[in-house]
């Protein structure tokens, strides 16, 4: 019990600090690719704390409640991600639970954003939900193959099996790993899949009415969500990590790759994004799972 609480706290702290730092680093890297200097790598910490310490406005009960639900759900989900040697709930961290708990976060933010009364927010949420239908499908199909192969859908067990088996899923199911990575970019909301934010088009979409502590909390939520999503990918396809540092290193590599790719991309429209996901990634994911189910068996 004590160990659980301690590891939970550790995980939260690590996830927060590490992800926010990486976000800052990402801004720096992106800037350099785009031949700018970029802000200092600790800029995101400043942003969050600045947000939390300012007065702001609120648009009503659901506006507040939704943000709480978003952050609460995301924090809850973080606790289910194994991070190398820090595993808070071994055996009980079912991937479906993770995905759906994440959905609580999304739902909370969606309710809150639309509850602000700004149509830009509603447009953004509509696009986010549509896009979700795009990227989740190939991802889930690939996951089906993974679960079938290992006969388990628990994250920590999958990590152990990959480590003990000696090879990561990325080598066993390379097509699936690539498809999952493309879906990951959609999940993260990085270009070319950031139409739901679309800063210049719909004034940041869902985030348009948030300032002060709301914005701060949502930035924390975004950081945690990034951690969860990339953590999922690392655990599922790159074997997690025997230690925390191995995990964090793989995390950094994946994130780095995503940042580099997105920094040179423009933006898809939402139906282009969905059609894109439903074409090659979906076909490849089916191909992968057919190979897994029929050829590889268990």
Partner 1 sequence: MSILTLIVVSLLAAPVLYVVARLNRRIAYVAYAGLQLLSFFTVFFSRGSTLSYEVIGITERLNFNFGLSPANWFFGSIVMLVISMSAVFMLPLNKTPAKVMLLALVSAGALGAVFSMDFLTLLIFWEISTWASLILIIQDREKSVKEAIKYVSIGAVGSYAMLFSVFYMLRELDAIDFSTVAVRIEKAPVHVQLVIFISLSVMVLAKLGTFPLHTWLRGSHSCAPDEFSPILSGAMTKIGAFLLFIVAVMIPSLKIFSQLPLFNGIPLANYVLAALGGVSIVVGTVMAIRMEDAKELIAFSTVSNSGYIVLALAIGGTYATVGGLMHVLNHAIASAAMFMAVAAVAYRTGTTKIHEMGGLIVKMPVSFAAYLVAIISVAGIPPTSGFVSKWLIYQQLVQDGLPFLAFAAFFGSIGSFMYVFKPLAGIFLGQLKPEHRSLKEAPLAMVFPMAFLTLLTVFWGILPSNAIRAINTVTESVGADSVRITFSRIIALTGQWDSILVTGVFAVGFFLALLIFMKAKRARRVELMDNYTSGEFIYTAELYHFSYRMYRPFDRMFERWPSMEMWLASLSDKIRELGHLIRAVFFPKNPQIYVAYALVVLLGAFWWLR
Q: What number of chain residues touch partner 1 (CB under 8 A)?
A: 87
**Cα-to-chain-centroid distance, residue 155:** 15
Q: Is position 172 an interface residue for partner 1 (rule: CB under 8 A)?
A: no
Q: Is position 227 an interface residue for partner 1 (rule: CB under 8 A)?
A: no
User: At its nearest, how many Å lie between partner 1 and the CB of residue 58?
Assistant: 4
Stretch that binds partner 1, among 22-30, 87-95, 176-184, 233-241 (CB under 8 A): 87-95
Site for partner 1 in 184-203 (CB under 8 A): 203
Site for partner 1 in 114-153 (CB under 8 A): 114-120, 122-123, 125-127, 129-130, 132-133, 136-137, 140-141, 144-145, 147-148, 151-153
**How many CB atoms are closer than 10 A to CB 40?**
12
Q: Is position 106 an interface residue for partner 1 (rule: CB under 8 A)?
A: yes
Helix spans in 115-173 (H) = 119-150, 155-165, 169-172
Q: Which is nearer to partner 1, 33 or 57 (CB)?
A: 57
Q: Which of 25, 198, 270, 284 binds partner 1 (CB under 8 A)?
A: 270
User: At its nearest, how many Å lie between partner 1 and the CB of residue 125?
Assistant: 7
C-alpha to C-alpha distance for 52 and 73, rounded to whole angstroms: 19
C-alpha to C-alpha distance for 277 and 95, rounded to whole angstroms: 21
Q: Which of 21, 30, 85, 103 binds partner 1 (CB under 8 A)?
A: 103
- SS3 (DSSP) at 83: strand
Site for partner 1 in 26-85 (CB under 8 A): 52-62, 64, 67-77, 79-80
Q: Is position 182 an interface residue for partner 1 (rule: CB under 8 A)?
A: no
C-alpha to C-alpha distance for 123 and 278, rounded to whole angstroms: 22
User: At its nearest, how many Å lie between partner 1 and the CB of residue 142?
Assistant: 10
C-alpha to C-alpha distance for 133 and 140, rounded to whole angstroms: 11
- SS3 (DSSP) at 238: coil
**How many CB atoms are closer than 10 A to CB 36?**
11
- Residue 231, CB half-sphere, CA atoms under 13 Å: how many? 32
Q: Which is nearer to partner 1, 133 or 253 (CB)?
A: 133
Structure tokens at 298: 């268990």
Q: Is position 101 an interface residue for partner 1 (rule: CB under 8 A)?
A: yes
**Cα-to-chain-centroid distance, residue 98:** 11
User: At its nearest, how many Å lie between partner 1 and the CB of residue 263?
Assistant: 26
């Amino acid at each position: 019990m004590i160990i659980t609480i301690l590891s939970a706290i550790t995980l939260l702290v690590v996830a927060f600090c590490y992800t926010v730092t990486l976000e800052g680093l990402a801004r720096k890297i992106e800037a350099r690719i785009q031949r700018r200097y970029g802000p200092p790598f600790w800029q995101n910490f400043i942003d969050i704390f600045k947000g939390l310490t300012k007065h702001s406005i609120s648009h009503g009960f659901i506006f507040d409640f939704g943000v709480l639900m978003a952050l609460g759900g995301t924090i809850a989900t973080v606790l289910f991600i194994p991070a190398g040697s820090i595993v808070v709930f071994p055996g009980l961290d079912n991937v479906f639970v993770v995905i759906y708990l994440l959905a609580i976060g999304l739902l909370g933010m969606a309710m809150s954003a639309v509850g602000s009364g700004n149509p830009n927010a509603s447009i953004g949420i509509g696009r986010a939900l549509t896009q979700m239908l795009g990227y989740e499908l190939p991802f889930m199909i690939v996951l089906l193959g993974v679960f079938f192969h290992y006969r388990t859908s628990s994250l920590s067990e999958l990590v152990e099996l990959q480590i003990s088996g000696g090879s990561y899923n990325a080598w066993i199911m390379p097509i699936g790993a690539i498809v999952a990575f493309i879906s990951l970019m959609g999940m993260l909301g990085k270009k070319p899949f950031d139409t739901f934010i679309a800063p210049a088009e719909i004034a940041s979409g869902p985030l348009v009415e948030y300032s002060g502590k709301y914005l701060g909390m949502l930035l924390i939520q975004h950081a945690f969500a990034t951690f969860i999503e990339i953590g999922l990918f690392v655990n599922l396809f790159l074997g997690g990590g025997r230690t925390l540092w191995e995990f964090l290193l793989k995390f950094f590599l994946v994130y780095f790759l995503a940042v580099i790719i997105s920094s040179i991309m423009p933006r898809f429209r939402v139906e282009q994004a969905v059609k894109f996901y439903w074409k090659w990634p979906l076909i490849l994911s089916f191909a992968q799972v057919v190979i897994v189910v029929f050829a590889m068996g268990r």
